[in-house]
């Protein structure tokens, strides 16, 4: 639900700012969204004892002293939408990446792969898709490998358990 609301706010930012300003703003939103990972920060933002002005000063400290950004933060505070800042950050990042025809992929594996393997995967998949890819690794407990490019709706996986299930069914059908 929050992401749907954040899309409207992000779209307003996209229409108000030029590309270079959007890149700077996206970096500021990324830094601010990292603050939302800290529990004490979230507690302060949600505190009923903090006034709207105090919340605005706290958020302005994370952002630049830009007048338009201040107006945007006023709007978020007034509508009690401060929690969507991380979502706005990710939407702006995806929009800027799409302009560059560059996308982020996440590689799920039981252990981190070496940089040469990641580079080979990046090069071959980028060539097949005709886009620039940036692969981030994430550890998982599943026995296999999975690569997901969410913005393109692409997922490639090789799971050990599924391979053995397919092999068994193939052997049983051939008998």
pLDDT band at 8 (very low <50, low <70, confident <90, very high): very high
Distance CA 10, CA 91 (A): 7
93/147 same-domain check: no
Q: How confident is the model at residue 114 (pLDDT cuts 50, 70, 90)?
A: confident
| Structure confidence at residue 74 as a pLDDT band (50, 70, 90) | confident
Q: What is the pLDDT of residue 92?
A: 92
| 54 and 13 in a common domain | yes
Q: Are residues 56 and 117 in the same domain?
A: no
What's residue 65's pLDDT? 67
50 with 115, same domain: the answer is no
Residue 132 CA, chain-centre distance (Å), reads 17
CATH number where 57 lies? 1.10.520
Q: What is the mean pLDDT of the chain?
A: 86
Q: Of 37, 64, 97, at which residue does a domain stop?
A: 97
Reading phi first (left if > 0) and then psi (alpha if -120 to 50, else beta), residue 33 is in: alpha
Number of structural domains in the chain: 2
Q: Are 139 and 111 in contact (CB under 8 A)?
A: yes
pLDDT value at position 154? 87
Q: Print the domain residue range for 25.
A: 2-97
Residue 3's alpha-carbon distances to 59, 112, 164, in angstroms, are 20, 30, 38
Which of 97, 114, 140 lies at the terminal end of a domain, its last residue?
Answer: 97
Q: Rounded distance, CA 58 to CA 53, Å?
A: 9
Q: 45-55, pLDDT tens digit by residue?
A: 888 898 888 88
């Amino acid at each position: 639900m929050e992401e749907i609301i954040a899309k409207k706010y992000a779209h307003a930012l996209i229409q108000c700012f030029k590309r270079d300003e959007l890149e700077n703003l996206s970096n500021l939103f990324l830094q601010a969204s990292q603050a939302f990972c800290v529990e004490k920060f979230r507690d302060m933002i949600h505190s009923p004892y903090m006034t709207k002005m105090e919340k605005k000063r706290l958020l302005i400290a994370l952002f630049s002293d830009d007048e338009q950004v201040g107006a945007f933060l006023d709007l978020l505070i007034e509508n009690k939408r401060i929690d969507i800042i991380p979502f706005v950050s990710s939407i702006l990042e995806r929009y800027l990446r799409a302009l560059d025809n560059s996308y982020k992929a996440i590689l799920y594996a039981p252990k981190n792969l070496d940089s040469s393997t990641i580079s080979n995967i990046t090069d071959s998949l980028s060539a097949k898709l005709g886009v620039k890819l940036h692969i981030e690794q994430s550890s998982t407990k599943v026995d296999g490998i999975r690569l997901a490019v969410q913005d393109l709706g692409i997922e490639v996986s090789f799971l050990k358990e599924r391979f053995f299930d397919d092999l068994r069914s193939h052997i049983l059908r051939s008998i």
